[in-house]
Amino acid sequence: MFEKIKESLESSPVVKKGEYDYFVNPITDGIPLMYPDVLEEIVAFIKEKVNLNNVDKIVCVEAMGIHLSTALSLDTRIPFVVIRKRKYGLPGEIAVFQETGYSKQNLYINYLNPGDKVIVVDDVVSTGGTLTAVVNALKSMDIEVEVIVAIVEKYDGKEIVENETNIKVLTLAKLDIINGKPIVEILD
């Protein structure tokens, strides 16, 4: 199972963003081509591992949580909302500072309310900066985060986020970059 995802991740080109080794893959970048079979496998994986019965909303982070959340939403009929990099200035908007291995910026949370039961879906967790900031902001808004899904865990990202948020992070593949090449393990 997930052999296609493994092969695709293993063949990811690695480019430099400053000193940071950044792998490029359809799951995490939308390039090269994303095939529907891969999206279906990701949806099946999430549905098998997560009890979605009590989940009101899927929450994702722009940009590369959006295609995954769209596929999951179409299948499960659970609506989703996007944490955007754009400020709208809507009432109740919450700004969150995001820092990754290669970027820093604000993210903006809208249309989430105290008591919402959500899952957070993103493509990859690496330094853990994004998911830690987002999930701790959601917790401070009294939103119940049932689980965090990051399809790819890179380096120690999963452990970092679990330690910083006390919420379980579900991942499908572990990826390390060694001597400029992606080394991949499927975790199912």
Ligand X SMILES: O=P(O)(O)OC[C@H]1O[C@H](OP(=O)(O)OP(=O)(O)O)[C@H](O)[C@@H]1O
Ligand Y SMILES: Nc1nc2[nH]cnc2c(=O)[nH]1
Which residue ranges make up the site for ligand X (CB under 6 A)? 61-64, 100-101, 103, 122-130, 157
User: Could you tell me the smallest distance in angstroms from the CB atom of residue 109 to ligand X?
Assistant: 14
User: Could you tell me the smallest distance in angstroms from the CB atom of residue 147 to ligand X?
Assistant: 16
- Looking at the Cβ atoms of 154 and 158, the one nearer to ligand Y is 154
- Looking at the Cβ atoms of 11 and 140, the one nearer to ligand Y is 11
The span from the CA of 125 to the CA of 148, in Å, is 10
Q: Which does 103 bind (CB under 5 to 8 A by kind): ligand X, ligand Y, none?
A: ligand X
The span from the CA of 104 to the CA of 178, in Å, is 25
Residues in the chain: 188
- Looking at the Cβ atoms of 23 and 143, the one nearer to ligand Y is 23
User: Could you tell me the smallest distance in angstroms from the CB atom of residue 154 to ligand Y?
Assistant: 6
Beta-carbon contacts of 107 under 8 Å, excluding residues fewer than 6 positions away, are 61, 62, 83, 84, 85, 95, 96, 97, 98, 130, 133, 134
- Looking at the Cβ atoms of 114 and 133, the one nearer to ligand X is 133
Q: The dihedral of CA 113, 118, 124, 125: what is its sign?
A: positive
- Looking at the Cβ atoms of 51 and 106, the one nearer to ligand Y is 106
Return the structure tokens found at 69.
């959340």
Q: Which does 61 bind (CB under 5 to 8 A by kind): ligand X, ligand Y, none?
A: ligand X
The span from the CA of 69 to the CA of 14, in Å, is 25
Q: Which does 96 bind (CB under 5 to 8 A by kind): ligand Y, ligand X, none?
A: none
Q: Which does 80 bind (CB under 5 to 8 A by kind): ligand X, ligand Y, none?
A: none
Cβ–Cβ < 8 Å for 60, 122: yes
Binding residues (CB under 6 A) for ligand Y: these are 22-24, 28-29, 100-101, 124, 126, 154
Cβ–Cβ < 8 Å for 187, 172: yes
Bridge pairing between strands 94-99 and 117-125: unpaired
